[in-house]
Amino acid sequence: MLHILRLASRHARACLIAGLLAGLALPNLAAALADWLPQMVAALLTLTALRIGHRAARGAARDLRWGLASVLALQTGLPLMLLGGFTLAGLGHTPAALAVALASAAPALTGSVNLALLLRLDAGRMMQLMVLGTAAFPLTVLPVLALLPQLGPASDVVAPALWLLAVIVAATGLGFALRHFLLPRPTPRQIETLDGASVLAFCIIVVGLMAALNPALRSHPAAVAGWTVLAFALSYLLQAAALLVLRRGPLRPVAGPLAIGAGNRNIALFLVALPPEVLAPLMIFIGCWQLPMYLTPVLLPRLYKRMLRND
């Protein structure tokens, strides 16, 4: 088993692709795993916290100013700007505008810390951004919801956001405790084993997240293609823009985590908060949204390396 975990660590990108393919090719398995997504996400968070350790996260939390300002810019300023652009173009009431607004208003993906690890970036800073974004989400989302009255009352979104925050705090706390008591000074082989376990958990989760995409691909392939293009464009353009803007400024040390946070958002949070009739036209997009996120470590490592290299 340990050998399998180390192999997964050494071939992490191939494992991510295998997870995406399994989600498309095995619809029955995807549907079965979809019911366990909350538990699997919590387990992944525990594994990730066990991997990076409380010292890294504590060091990253010493300066909250950049984190809070970044969360406000990413989760409130950015979606309002994008929604304003759609409105000026006369597309403010389209499903595409709603999808972009919700995706850009959501906090960083719970698996974003794993993406940072795969891209060899500061996972402690990434965890800080993810936790801060989730904690602030009930407030940062309010201005966006005010401009999207078809979504219903804001209170429907606040409660799930608070519950998600509680799960994140409990899961990461457990991981940090396990690291402190069981692996205070892990060896390189133990770190590699933990990396492999995180990769496998990440891959299993994506199978469940792809449950809605397989039926849509069979019945509405053209719609899937359109939503896929939108998902890739939004995710990768946001990451590239963040890297371009931040790589030469005072936030250069955290440009990588901020770029991951900008383009990899937890839009699934809205699944438990919004009316089904509102989400119906967006379900295909939510499935397509997983593709650019899980392929970020496969398709964008050169972009991150080039943008963040020392000139």
pLDDT digits (tens, 9 = 90+) for 190-209: 888 887 788 888 788 888 87
For residue 154, pLDDT over 60 is answered with yes
219 pLDDT tier (thresholds 50, 70, 90)? confident
CATH architecture of the domain 2-305 equals Up-down Bundle (1.20)
As a whole number of angstroms, the distance between CA 9 and CA 257 comes to 20
Question: At how many degrees (to 10) do helices 221-246 and 301-308 cross?
Answer: 20
The Cα–Cα gap between 68 and 133 comes to 8
Q: Exposed, middle or buried, 54 (CB in 10 Å: 0-12/13-18/19+)?
A: middle
Residue 78: what pLDDT?
Answer: 96
Q: Which residues contact 50 (CB under 8 A, 6 or more apart)?
A: 175, 176, 178, 179, 183, 194
Q: What is the pTM of this model?
A: 0.80
User: Across the chain, what does the average pLDDT equal?
Assistant: 83
- pLDDT of 28 > 80? The answer is yes
Residue range 63-87, pLDDT digits in tens? 567 788 899 999 999 999 999 999 9
For the stretch 229-273, pLDDT in tens is 999 999 999 999 999 999 888 888 889 999 999 999 988 777 655
Cβ atoms of 300 and 236 closer than 8 Å: yes
Please name which of 6, 29, 10 lies closest in space to residue 19, comparing C-alpha atoms: 29
Query: How sure is the predictor about 166, in pLDDT bands with cuts at 50, 70 and 90?
Result: confident
Of the two residues 201 and 227, the one the predictor is more confident about is 227
For the chain, the domains span 2-305
